Amino acid sequence: MRRAKLILIHLFLFTSCLVFGQGIVNNGAHLVFSGASYIYINGASNGGYLSQSNGIIDPSSTGTLSLQSNWVNNSANTGFSSDNGLVIMNGANQNISGSNSTTFYNLSLQGSGVKTQNINTSVGGVSTTTGTLSVGNVIYDLNSNVLTITNPLNSAVTAGSGYVLSETNAAVNPSIMRWNMNTSTGSYVYPFGVAGTQIPFTFNKTTAGSSNVDVSTRSTAASDNQPWAGASNVGAVGFFYCPNNSMSANPCAANSVIDRWWDITPSAAVTANVTFSYRGSENTLTSPYDVGNIGAQWWDGSNWNLDNATTGSAPAVSSGVGNVTANSLSQFCPFVLSSVAVPLPVEITQIDVKCLGNGNLISWTTQSESNSKYFIIEKSIDALNFNEVGRINAAGNSSKGLSYSYTDLTNTDNNTSVFYYRLKEIDINNSAKKYNILSTQNCNKKTDLIDVANSSDGKVFISFNSSNDSEYTIKIFDLVGKLLKEENQIANKGLYKMQLETTGLPQSIYLLTINGNGLIKNQKVVINGN
């Protein structure tokens, strides 16, 4: 009796609608739902809805359309003339497709199987944007398309045991879930999942700026973080810390990085606390990188940023689902979870320079290296303008301490009292990092006629014999080579003594240089500060 009544409703309301088999073809009709109308389209094969020739649905606020087969919108509209009603996909494997995108108000995924999105689709409505998506207990496959949630409330999407499938093994993942959050704040849960396991992504928006936030995530079938070949813009996994030197092939990235990527793209500046989830089976970390915590790092186009010790910190899991929360993020896309801190490709623990005979020896030690290419040794006579005097090839990647040295034999200028050196490291991406400026005396200059005494209370005394009335220049540098103080002193012939004026300098160790009249002194001193 109920079924016959529904057919009568179809014929009464939809005089331009052709009903065939157990499905509906809307051939240009304006379908109006009245009150609590409920249309159930039965049949697993033909029990779907096809709109064409500008067909459209005008649902009531309590109207429901339930179908067991596919939704196809070939009309030149978004499917509905008002933000009302509910569409239930209640069959087994079902598709949302057509030549034009659909904007559902309320969409509920029920039944069984996989619901596949074959075209960009929106849920939440066009103007009122208060509709919701219920994923329920099924899989919703984005299938390289964008799902837009137009409702800015964080309650707009719910899920039972089901999930949204965003896995697309491509350099730039096109399977995107976009949430139009506008100025709302709060915890937005993207109910992602894969292979029967939920791995939700949580974007806890903490700023009220208006923003849409696109998120996609995927692992790789090979478990090596390599879903692409030769994609220079995102081939950045090659810049992760790696225990060997074969970065071009790059399978070793899996040794220290969880095999999952997250692309996060806000449409405007936003700050959020973000929780990343991954399956234990995606933990491809190997010894010794599988011990301790993992943390979030993002790629800015040339470097990996943030430190897993401070940005998110949680033990890596090898079963079940692991989670890492990184707070106060304001830069995004793409993100990974790494077991090592890699913002700096090379960690240098010591740099030194000293005069040896007719040359200057520059030596340095690295604690670890990641993707280092070579070191450049630069030289200056004024600590401002530097020129390259040599270069040394780097190890590339190393987890142990390494020592390097270079001897500069270009000290032929007897009129120069002090030489300044600076070390520069170049990585395989040709990015450069400069280290502290060091100085040393000219080996060809007399250096033993100036005495600098440092008392226990931090006072500095200078004395020397001047062969004639002459001017001397005294400079004080901090240990990174910044000139802090400079003064000139006129010394009469004979013994000259003075106490160094250090007013305004905080307590620290400084580099003192004195030169004039053929004499030079270069010495570290302790200043107590005053």
Residues 331, 351 within the same domain: no
The CATH number of residue 519's host domain is 2.60.40.3080
The answer to whether 100 and 81 have CB atoms below 8 angstroms apart is: no
Mean pLDDT of 389-404: 85
- Residue 344: the pLDDT is 46
The answer to whether 47 and 67 have CB atoms below 8 angstroms apart is: yes
494-521 pLDDT, tens digit per residue, is: 777 788 878 778 888 788 888 877 667 7
Residues 312, 181 within the same domain: yes
The answer to whether 346 and 366 have CB atoms below 8 angstroms apart is: yes
Residues 467, 484 within the same domain: yes
The residue ranking higher by pLDDT, 194 or 525, is: 194
Six-digit token string for 355: 């005069």
Q: Could you say which of 342, 370, 404 is where a domain stops?
A: 342
Question: Cβ of 445: how many Cβ atoms within 10 Å?
Answer: 18
Residues 247, 284 within the same domain: yes
Q: Is residue 280 part of a domain?
A: yes
- Residue 402: the pLDDT is 87
Q: Is residue 272 part of a domain?
A: yes
- Residue 78: the pLDDT is 96
Does 233 have pLDDT greater than 70? no
- Residue 181: the pLDDT is 96
The CATH number of residue 361's host domain is 2.60.40.10
The residue ranking higher by pLDDT, 246 or 453, is: 453
Specify the length of the chain in residues.
530
- Between the CA of residue 430 and those of 122, 158, 266, 372, 374, what are the distances in Å? 43, 46, 29, 9, 10
How would residue 409 be classed by pLDDT, with cut points 50, 70 and 90? confident
Residues 421, 475 within the same domain: no
Which range has the worst mean pLDDT, 140-149, 176-185, 258-267, 353-362?
Answer: 353-362
Does 166 have pLDDT greater than 90? yes
Does 133 have pLDDT greater than 50? yes
How far apart, in whole angstroms, are the C-alpha atoms of residue 499 and residue 485? 15
How far apart, in whole angstroms, are the C-alpha atoms of residue 189 and residue 208? 17
Does 249 have pLDDT greater than 70? no
How would residue 449 be classed by pLDDT, with cut points 50, 70 and 90? low
Q: Could you say which of 441, 464, 485 is where a domain stops?
A: 441
Residues 473, 493 within the same domain: yes
Residues 413, 522 within the same domain: no
The residue ranking higher by pLDDT, 164 or 17, is: 164
- Residue 310: the pLDDT is 59
Q: Could you say which of 308, 342, 376 is where a domain stops?
A: 342
How would residue 4 be classed by pLDDT, with cut points 50, 70 and 90? very low
Q: Is residue 161 part of a domain?
A: no
Q: Is residue 436 part of a domain?
A: yes
- Residue 507: the pLDDT is 80
Which range has the worst mean pLDDT, 114-128, 177-191, 242-256, 339-353?
Answer: 242-256
Q: Is residue 425 part of a domain?
A: yes
- Residue 54: the pLDDT is 93
Does 9 have pLDDT greater than 50? no
Number of domains in the chain: 3
Mean pLDDT of 195-200: 96
- Residue 400: the pLDDT is 74
How would residue 227 be classed by pLDDT, with cut points 50, 70 and 90? very low
Mean pLDDT of 437-448: 64
Residues 176, 300 within the same domain: yes
- Residue 158: the pLDDT is 97
Computed over every residue of the chain, the mean pLDDT equals 80
Residues 188, 316 within the same domain: yes
Residue 63's contacts (CB-CB under 8 Å, 6 or more residues apart) are: 33, 34, 35, 36, 37, 38, 84, 85, 86
Of the segments 4-8, 139-143, 223-227, which one has the largest average pLDDT value? 139-143
Which range has the worst mean pLDDT, 44-58, 209-223, 236-250, 472-486?
Answer: 236-250
Residues 240, 328 within the same domain: yes
Mean pLDDT of 445-452: 59
Residues 402, 335 within the same domain: no
Give the full edge-to-edge strand order of the sheet including 86-89. 38-41, 64-67, 86-89, 106-109, 133-134, 157-158
Identify the three-state secondary structure at position 223: coil
- Residue 466: the pLDDT is 72
- Residue 223: the pLDDT is 56
One-letter amino acid at 229 equals A
- % of the chain with per-residue pLDDT over 70: 78
The residue ranking higher by pLDDT, 40 or 157, is: 157
The answer to whether 125 and 82 have CB atoms below 8 angstroms apart is: no
Query: What's the domain range around 218?
Result: 166-342
Residues 416, 322 within the same domain: no
The residue ranking higher by pLDDT, 241 or 380, is: 380
Q: Is residue 279 part of a domain?
A: yes
- Residue 391: the pLDDT is 92
- Between the CA of residue 8 and those of 24, 61, 125, 319, what are the distances in Å? 14, 21, 29, 55
Does 305 have pLDDT greater than 90? no
Rounded to 5°, the CA angle 479-481-484 comes to 90
Q: Is residue 406 part of a domain?
A: yes
Q: Is residue 259 part of a domain?
A: yes
Does 239 have pLDDT greater than 50? no
pTM above 0.75, yes or no: no
Which range has the worst mean pLDDT, 63-77, 106-120, 427-441?
Answer: 427-441
